[in-house]
A and B are shown apart, each in its own frame.
Chain A
Amino acid sequence: MNALIQDVRYAVRQLLRGPGFAITVIVTLALGIGANSAIFTIFDQVMLRTLPVQKPKELVRFEWTGAYSGSASSFGGDTGNYFSWPMYKDLRDRNTVFAGILAADRSSVGISWHDQAENKDAELVSGNYFDVLGLRPALGRLMTVSDDTAKDANPVAVLSYDYWKTRFTAAPDVAGKTLLINGHPFTILGVAPEGFHSAIGGYTPGVFLPVSMSDIAMPWTAPRKDLTNHQSIWLTLVARLKPGVTAQQAETTMEPLWYALRAQELTGYRTVSERFKDKFLNHTHLFVKDDSTGFNPERQDLRMPLLVLMGMVGVLAAMCAVNVATLLLLRAAGRVREISMRYALGAARSRIVRQLLVEGAVLGVCGAIAGVVLSPLIASVLVRIISNVGDQDQTPYTASVDLRVLGFTLLLSVAVTLAFSVAPALQFIRPRLAESLRQSSGTASKRSQLFRKIAVGFQIALTVLLLGGAGLFLRTLSNLRGQALGFQTAHVLSWQVDPTLAGYGDDRTAQVEMNVLDEVRAIPGVLQASGTTDPEIAGNQNGSNFTVQGHVAPEEEDMNFEIPCITPGYFATLRQPLLAGREFTAADVKGAPRVAVVNLTFAKRFYGTPQNALGRLIAEGGGSDVKLDTTIVGVVGDVKHQNLRDTPRGTVYRPYLQQTLPGGMELYALTDQSPETVESMIRERIHRLDSKLVVYQMRTLDEQMDISLANERALAFLAMSFSLLALLMTAVGLYGVLAYATAQRTREIGVRMALGAQRSAVVMLVLREMALTAVIGVAVALPAAFAISRLLTSQLYGVQPGDPLTLAACVGVSAVMVVLAAAIPARRAASVDPMLALRSE
């Protein structure tokens, strides 16, 4: 023990003697380890962490495949993740393998408390929700089956712990009090436990409301009659397996029930072709999947980027180890004589190896500590970018280091430290004493030179690899940003107001929204103002089935189209080209003839040309008894609607004012100067209209585009940062190796000059050595980059994996790095005095 302390003390003294070296190593380690813990912090939260509920391993989730016809409302993922309420009830009541099944949906609602209204995320849950999850209240009581009985009969709410802490200042007497949800009084039952957010991963609702209250929580869904409609799917289901039952067993057991329920459901369909019937009944399956981490649709989108980033920081960690090993080896090489002397004086091998390992460990510990300090800084960048959607305080992810991250960092640091400290220690396990004491100092041992070359080559290869990935992501981002969207984002401001928060009934929402638009239009500098129920590039998909006159659609044909309801001037505001016919006008209201504008995709599919579409009849819904009541009056160009990777989808625009209870809108204003300049004016006008109206999510469409690109931006930004870090590390390693080699060869260089070598020849001598290493490194990296980039295909846009231009750029950047790193040693070599040759050693 004493000896160890002595070793540590000696090691610290050794390191302090060359603080530049120690700082270089510690900074390298800190960046490498910090980047790893940072990415792991997020990776763990998104991908690995189980829900904070009882026995999360027992939780499973349902997913189905098969034909379907009706309306689907989703908050992400595909329709197979969603179920109708009647289907839920059947699955819940008729199975034998689950201890319970819960249903849930996300929505945002207006919550008024003490006359203060705000818009807040809510989770609509089945009454058994907390039961199935096995949660206990932090305060009051949680919802039970008896709180979710019949339509509109259960105005009760459970608060989330965080919401209770912030909005209700952790008031202990909150249970039994009343708050307003969308203007309707709800009784607070209690508070959910601390640390629990939602059964839906990555979601942080403020309140939990019974599904039976969905018409109040989501008034615009009322026409769907969700509580009885088999053909409206909107709920995600989570089940708890009975003890001892596996997900696989459950899936097998559920199969007959699933087929029975499907057959039963089909009887409710109006007209069915034989083909559809066959597909509906026979080509369907119900999957039972592990749900211990909670269903998180964003996880699907974040999975690949996070895996890529984990891979990248893993590479960075490996580079870090190799880099530090190289630096330590160089330092050790400088100490060959010292250490050989110690051996010669009779030091035991274990003693010397231990001393070297202790030095490595001291560096490793310092690096790890610095890395842990650095980690939240890097992680917070990622958190900020990926949780751009919604308000800052709602982010479900945290950048702070917890025990799991600490554990991960510890393991990683030990691995890295072992890797880099063993290399120099090995060099001295079998010291070639005679050689190193006799050898003239002019030449270094071939073996250690080879190791250094391989190490540098390895680093160059990995750098090219990282740069290649980062390059592809950067190009993807710029392709997504630079592409034509079908509308113009410049100079457009967007925001929402929620009239229900201000106490307006659902029937008055439309009028308030129109009044707001009138106010905004009157602001100088506002050229156009309009709104839509289906905001652009906000991830929204909102569809319905249509019947097209003269087109007989078999059941399996996809007749589902996007259905934005918009106000007059919408296309002018977004500068979306009108290809034929007209925009909606103020005359297109309830009572007037029903009209629609369709997009180019729709027009081409059914009518061939935009002009041809004018005057044609369509109708929402299907079946033979549908009334063709809507006339197409205009055709507009296609847009990227849901997100920037969207392919155009048939779209039927309808006048907002022609709908019954159309709900809230996303409002847009086109301004003649930068849209930020009218922000405060708009807020002021709306406040003047009704001081209770709250403006929220006010941002420019360009900002909205950034939000839509959050994952791509995070990926490109971090990948580029890590690659540049790798580049820097490699440059440091390369510089170290070359500087050392040049110093070692000073005499040789002097001799060569004495023999008539020109300066250029000497510079070439220094460069040639690394040039070959670099060429081999790049030669190894390129095919690897090509192969690995194929795995990234799903993340790319408008650029092929293995894109030659990107790879060439990476090689170019790496080459510049090699030359820059070699420049100083090369200059030093060129300035060696040939007189050196005359001096005897």
Chain B
Amino acid sequence: MSQNIIEIEQLTKVFYTDEIETHALSGVHLTIGRGEYVAMSGPSGCGKSTLLSIVGLLDTPTSGRYTLNGKEVANLNFSDRSRIRNQEIGFIFQSFNLIGDLTVAENVELPLTYRSGMPASERKKKVQEALERVNMAHRMRHYPAQLSGGQQQREAVARALAGSPSILLADEPTGNLDSKNGEAVMKLLQELHAEGSTICMVTHDPRFAAHAERQIHLFDGKVVAEGEMTQLLAEV
């Protein structure tokens, strides 16, 4: 098995809407190695979320190669993508996206229920571990609406962890949090990284980006070097 979890070559994504073509990504090269913690940043509209969604198999690229864990995944059908997403990817969203009707424990269990053949006892065990990992085990029977924003995002992290994915993808995980809660979530991610998790995070905040061991800059649908980035930004 390759050391790289993610290998992306010459990836493009074009959105066609009402005769307008939006080239959201134009030839992205990206590799993420096992255990790496990568932060992705760039100006609004540069294609960060688009790239993340393709990495997370929520969307398919217009062209290019994408190998996840050594397997070509760029052109899988919906059903296969769902399955791989469920097993290999853990998502952390800006707006938490917890399901209001389900308890904390049920939310965390949710991705496991989409995995066929996992017995209920094992699911319970994994839920328990994940919630303990984020210090939310005592809130298991609460509903999301009864939690603070920071707690909700910790619960969301637990949900992403529960299925033991190959990589955690986070799109502005602190975007809806105040700085104190934001710090706490960043600290949690750092701990997870220290324990061996692979993380790819999109963030605007340079302070948080500094937590990562590698930073990627996106500009106008392309990955650019840091120096180049400063220059480009100055030009705008």
Chain A residues within CB distance 8 Å of chain B: 439-440, 442-443, 446, 747-748, 751-759, 761, 834-835, 837-838, 840-841
Contacts and interface: CB of A to CB of B under 8 A. Distances in A.
B100 A443 contact: yes
A277 to B, nearest CB: 82
Contact of B93 (A752, A761, A838): A838
B59 A835 contact: yes
Contact of B114 (A443, A758, A835, A841): A758
A840 B94 contact: yes
Given A754-B93, A756-B111, A840-B172, 17 more contacts: A440-B95, A442-B100, A443-B99, A446-B101, A748-B100, A754-B56, A754-B91, A754-B97, A755-B114, A756-B114, A756-B115, A757-B82, A757-B114, A759-B82, A835-B53, A837-B91, A838-B171
Contacts of B176: 840
Interface string B150-168: 0000000001000100000
Given A761-B114, A838-B49, A747 B82 contact: no
Given A757-B82, A758-B82, A840-B176, A443 B95 contact: no
Contacts of A755: 85-86, 91, 110-111, 114, 159
Contacts of B82: 753, 756-759
B85 A756 contact: yes
Given A439-B145, A443-B100, A748-B99, A754 B110 contact: no
Nearest to A749: B99
A838 B52 contact: yes
A267 B101 CA distance: 88
A752 B56 contact: no
10 contacts: A443-B99, A443-B100, A748-B99, A752-B99, A754-B56, A754-B91, A756-B82, A757-B114, A835-B53, A840-B93
Nearest to A449: B101
B114 A442 contact: no
Contact of B58 (A439, A752, A834): A834
Given A442-B100, A443-B101, A756-B82, A837 B115 contact: no
B75 interface: no
Contacts of A439: 100, 145
B96 to A, nearest CB: 9
Contacts of B87: 756
B110 A752 contact: yes
Contacts of B3: none
B182 interface: no
B176 to A, nearest CB: 7
Contacts, number: 76
Given A440-B100, A840-B94, A756 B86 contact: yes
B127 to A, nearest CB: 14
A709 to B, nearest CB: 54
Contacts of B53: 835, 838
Contact of A840 (B85, B100, B115, B175): B175
Contacts of B95: 440, 840-841
Nearest to B100: A443
B97 to A, nearest CB: 4
B143 to A, nearest CB: 10
A718 to B, nearest CB: 43
A837 B91 CA distance: 10
Interface of A (DSSP majority class): helix
B162 to A, nearest CB: 10
List 4 A-B pairs, minimum CB-CB distance, nearest first.
Answer: A756-B86, A443-B100, A755-B111, A751-B97
B121 interface: no
Contacts of A841: 95
B83 interface: yes
Interface in B71-115: 78-79, 82-83, 85-87, 89, 91, 93-95, 97, 99-101, 110-111, 114-115
Which of A439, A751, A838 is most buried by chain B, counting CB atoms within 10 A of its CB? A838
B99 A751 contact: yes
Contacts of B52: 838
Contacts of B93: 751, 754, 837-838, 840
Nearest to B162: A755
A834 B97 CA distance: 12
B169 to A, nearest CB: 10
A837 B97 contact: yes
Interface in B171-192: 171-172, 175-176
Contacts of B89: 756
A146 to B, nearest CB: 88
A440 B176 CA distance: 13
B46 to A, nearest CB: 15
Nearest to A445: B100
A748 B97 CA distance: 7
B68 to A, nearest CB: 14
A755 B159 CA distance: 9
Which of B95, B163, B176 is most buried by chain A, counting CB atoms within 10 A of its CB? B95
A761 to B, nearest CB: 6
A151 to B, nearest CB: 89
Contacts of A747: 97
A841 B93 CA distance: 11
Contacts of B111: 755-756
A449 to B, nearest CB: 9
A754 B55 CA distance: 12
A761 B52 CA distance: 24
Contacts of A758: 79, 82-83, 114
B146 to A, nearest CB: 12
Contacts of A446: 101
Nearest to A757: B114
B171 to A, nearest CB: 6
A645 B58 CA distance: 68
A419 B93 CA distance: 44
A835 B58 CA distance: 6
A440 B101 CA distance: 12
A32 to B, nearest CB: 33
Interface string B40-80: 00000000010011001011000000000000000000110
A758 B175 CA distance: 29
B95 to A, nearest CB: 5
A440 B78 CA distance: 28
Contacts of B110: 752, 755
Contacts of A440: 95, 100
A336 to B, nearest CB: 15
Contacts of A840: 93-95, 172, 175-176
B194 to A, nearest CB: 25
Nearest to B176: A840
B139 to A, nearest CB: 18
B78 to A, nearest CB: 7
Contacts of A756: 82-83, 85-87, 89, 111, 114-115, 163
A603 B205 CA distance: 107
A752 B98 CA distance: 10
A837 B159 CA distance: 14
A838 B99 contact: no
Nearest to A438: B145
B217 to A, nearest CB: 20
Contact of B79 (A442, A754, A759): A759
Contacts of A748: 99-100
A747 B87 CA distance: 21
Nearest to B79: A758
A754 B78 CA distance: 11
Nearest to A751: B97
Nearest to A435: B145
A721 B229 CA distance: 73
Contacts of B115: 756
Contacts of A835: 53, 58-59
Contacts of A761: 114
Contacts of A442: 99-100
Contacts of B97: 747, 751, 754, 837
A446 to B, nearest CB: 8
A442 B101 CA distance: 10
A196 to B, nearest CB: 68
